[in-house]
Amino acid sequence: MWFIETVVLSCIITLGWTLMFSVPKRYILPCLLMTACGFGLKTALVYQHVHLVVASFFGAMLASFLGVYFSKKYTLPPKALISPSVICMMPGIAAYKAMVSMVQIGYFGFSDELFSQMMVYLFEALFVTSGLVLGLSIPGLLFYRRRAIV
């Protein structure tokens, strides 16, 4: 039940971003489907104790492959469909906790515990974002390459 709840909430987030990006109405459903598949895969992998960075990579890659498929089907640029559907995977909580730890260091003074906490959250946010970027770039490298790989 919690899995369906989190996927539905991520689709609500995507719905808001599609409205902000002015995605035409007939393309909102493919964006929601891409979000449900990508975020669902990420959530299922995290539940199976796969590291968050790896799970985010595969979730973004699945959403990006679906975005390439839907962009060819509807003759749209793929970024118009992919961008709103991957935003819900951004590491907002880790980045927020890193910033709070940084502010606490400034307010309470330096301590090793706060600094290590800040660095853990900072690197978690950086690596998850890097995993998302790599996952988004894989289908573009495979399908939109003009020269041969070898």
Residues 131-144: tens digit of each pLDDT: 999 999 888 788 77
* Pair of tokens at residue 80: 């118009």
- In eight-state DSSP terms, residue 89 is G
Residue 18 phi, psi dihedral angles, 5° rounding: -65, -35
Q: State the residue for tokens 């962009």.
A: 71
pLDDT confidence of residue 72: 84
Nearest CA to 115 out of 125, 126, 105 is that of 105
- Angle in degrees, CA 73, 74, 78, rounded to 5: 90
Nearest CA to 30 out of 56, 68, 4 is that of 68
pLDDT confidence of residue 7: 94
pLDDT confidence of residue 148: 65
> pTM for the whole thing?
0.86
- Over 80: is that where the pLDDT of 96 sits? yes
**Contact present, 53 and 127 (Cβ < 8 Å):** yes
Question: How many Cβ atoms from other residues are within 10 Å of residue 74's Cβ?
Answer: 13
- pLDDT, greater one: 72 or 36: 36
Residue-averaged pLDDT of the chain:
90
pLDDT tens digits along 10-34: 999 999 999 998 888 888 999 999 9
3-class DSSP state of 110: coil
How would you classify residue 75: left for phi > 0, otherwise alpha for psi between -120 and 50, otherwise beta? Answer: left
Task: State the pLDDT confidence band at 76, using cuts at 50, 70 and 90.
Answer: confident
pLDDT confidence of residue 83: 85
- In eight-state DSSP terms, residue 33 is H
Task: State the pLDDT confidence band at 149, using cuts at 50, 70 and 90.
Answer: low
Please report, for the chain, the start and end positions of each structural domain, with discontinuous segments joined by +: 1-143
Report the alpha-carbon distance of residue 150 to residue 117 in Å, rounded: 44
